[in-house]
Structure 1
């Protein structure tokens, strides 16, 4: 049976019996040359006694539905497996975890088909200022720090007993409920919270040997920030490197079949491998040009 290699990114969030879930509205400007185009995403900060996870709500829902579809098709058997693109797949693909009590922090990001686990080795050095204001229902105090190539202003509250915050931010005497950079390109504001009492855990999906599903199974590549930056530069220079390697393997392995299909801007479907590669390279480079305002410039520049 010929196997199918699918592109399916799964973000699993492990939860304990009780989780404090905080909802943040993340506003960001991907293209510094088009500041009117402001994206919005609801992000979740889940905190329990062992640590925290920060991730996109829409992406988590999309991945969970896709996972359920994949499990159903695997149980049904058959040679063809397909994962349909979700209506709201999520605009933010990264995830951040922190481990208590030492706040060991990891940023999870992908480059093409490779998944990376990036260790954060620098703690933010906050300067707490006397200014105070009420944000939502909480009294908050101002703090500033330089991080990742940006100047950040945070507002934290001691009314919530967590020295944590959205993304990689932490280290203030309370929960960070608002944070934005000096250019107003990235901001995260607390918009709600609740306690999750139901225990949920995601078991590793068992995939048969004859089926290869990219994004399911395997471990992230653990790297330093410098190593990730090097991998990113390689990707910028040759964004279809992984695809071409898959095509080469496909040519030399009679038991593996890789199917490529893409649609051009005018809706035309392309299946010829060489045309697919050219179209993917063109569209990826165009997307990279428009995504020039990352949350951490120092990570990719």
Structure 2
């Protein structure tokens, strides 16, 4: 693992800039009633001069692949688009961004076909302790906080000059290289990093009236109180937005077709059957994914 010893600097090119990417191994227990089932996912923390972004590597790759396929369809068709529901890459669907220098923090959460940009109104309040130990290649110091309905133990390193960390955590005098809640349900450990150049490109717009389930669409800015109401409604009727989207986009020249697969691998294209299958799967998922990283957000 290569240590980063220089601060960010702008490089040549109006849309080009240097970016540091930190790789965190995220281990978590989705179901509190089955603690033997521990999942792993590689998470990325990208840091540049304006702030940071934390998200799943697998989901990013999967979404990019899906988007490329849809853009290919758009080039050859101005009317009908087929959106196949297959096993999505990655388990972690949220993204967290922080804006420098005030560390204004947002979490982006998918609920059905909508993306909610939820502003965080609290910051982690840390208690820095004298305990020190090596975490990977780094000299680290211990700190604790209560945040989001969990007690957390963090290890930060002043070897890396960023007061940031994975998820919504920040504000220590160095990068957080490891953090774990006291129940052992969620832990994030730095396993690598790299510096690279990135160039912003303009994304292709979708035809008017088309909204894609699971990606794209408008971001709905909201607060935690309003998001909790949205989540409660979603749990009560998981396919409501999808049904409304299909009816809306099937009236004109554009048509959205949902497809799914049954448990035995058969492709399902009948809309009513697709929605029943999706709702069944979602309700099973709700039961098995009850151990949220931030329980207070879903109460």
Same fold (TM over 0.5): yes
Secondary structure at the residue paired with 2:244? helix
Task: Tell me the distance in 1 between the aligned counterparts of 2:190 and 2:227.
Answer: 30
Residue of structure 2 equivalent to 1:103: 103
CA 1:285–1:210: 2 relative to 1, 3 Å: closer
Q: TM-score, normalised by structure 2?
A: 0.88
Equivalence for 2:261: 263
SS of alignment partner, residue 199 of structure 1 = strand
CA shift for structure 1 position 215 = 5.4
Q: CA deviation at 1:33?
A: 1.2
- Structure 1: any 5+ residue segments left out of the alignment? 1-14
The answer on whether the counterparts of 1:30 and 1:291 sit within 8 Å (CA) in structure 2 is yes
Decide which moves more: 201-210 or 104-113. 201-210
**In structure 1, how many angstroms separate the alpha carbons of the residues matched to 2:212 and 2:221?**
20
> What pairs up with 1:224-235 in 2 under 5 angstroms?
224-235=223-234
Match in the other structure for 1:156: 156
Q: Report how far residue 45 of structure 1 moved.
A: 0.6
The answer for the alignment partner of 1:127 in structure 2 is 127
Answer yes or no: is the 8 Å Cα contact 2:82–2:258 preserved in 1: no
Paired residue total: 285
Contact preservation (8 Å) 1:16, 1:48: no
Unaligned runs of at least 5 residues, structure 2:
1-14
Between the aligned partners of 1:89 and 1:115, the Cα distance in structure 2 is: 18
State whether structure 2 residue 245 is matched by structure 1 residue 246: yes
- Please tell me whether residue 194 in structure 1 is matched to residue 194 in structure 2: yes
Q: Is the 8 A contact 2:158 2:175 kept in 1?
A: yes
Q: 1:223 aligns to what?
A: 222
Post-superposition offset of 1:86: 7.5
Partner of 2:10: none
- Superimposed CA distance per residue, residues 183-214 of structure 1 (whole angstroms, 9 cap, x where no aligned partner): 11100000011111x22213132223375534
Name which of 279, 283, 291 aligns with 2:281.
283
User: Equivalent residue for 1:3?
Assistant: none
By how many angstroms is 1:286 displaced? 0.8
Give the whole-Å Cα distance in 1 for the aligned partners of 2:128 and 2:36: 32
How far 1:130 moved relative to its partner? 0.8
Per the alignment, residue 175 of structure 2 pairs with 175
Deviations along 1:118-167, one digit per CA (max 9) or x if unpaired, are 00110111111111001011100000000111100000011111100000
Between the aligned partners of 2:257 and 2:68, the Cα distance in structure 1 is 22
- Would you say the 8 A contact 2:25–2:43 is kept in 1? yes
1:51 and 1:121 mapped to 2: Cα distance? 17
* Aligned residue in 2 for 1:237: 236
Task: For residues 206-240 of structure 1, give each alpha carbon's deviation from its aligned partner in whole angstroms, at most 9, with x where no partner exists.
Answer: 22337553456542100101111110011111111
- Residue 262 of structure 1 deviates from its aligned partner by 2.2
Distance 2:243 2:85 in 1: 23
Q: When the two structures are superposed, what TM-score results if normalisation uses the length of structure 1?
A: 0.87
